[in-house]
Amino acid sequence: MNRFEKKRHFRLSVRLLSAAVFVCAVLLLLAGLNNISGMTERQEAEGLEDHVRRCAVHCYALEGFYPDSLGYLEEHYGLTYDRDKYIISYEIIGSNLMPDVSVLRIR
């Protein structure tokens, strides 16, 4: 092996190492973006759940009872949400007790 072949072998090793580092960086970036996307989806669902509760409390403060359905909140208090994206569980315990609210994301 002469000195030119050694340089060529060294250049090839450097290129392979550079390509491997680049691929690792891209994979880390994609994993980070996926993590951020998941956090955003969770925050959206928590925000919607919070909004439904605030609407129910607003109804209780104005009318003296918690609404018996989500439809009542939609009709009288302007509650809107993407039905293709979320399912809202709204369980009534009593007219004077805060309903149990949970939001599930549809995948």
Crossing angle between the packed helical segments 70-77 and 3-63, to the nearest 10 degrees? 80
Q: What is the mean pLDDT of residues 43-58?
A: 94
Question: What are the pLDDT digits (tens) for 53-104?
Answer: 999 999 999 999 999 999 999 999 999 999 999 999 999 988 889 999 999 9
Could you tell me if 52 and 64 are in contact, meaning their C-beta atoms sit under 8 angstroms apart?
no
Q: Is the pLDDT of residue 8 over 60?
A: yes
Beta bridge partners of 90: 101
Percentage of the chain beyond pLDDT 70 is 91
What pTM was computed for the model?
A: 0.68
**Average pLDDT, rounded, for the chain:** 87
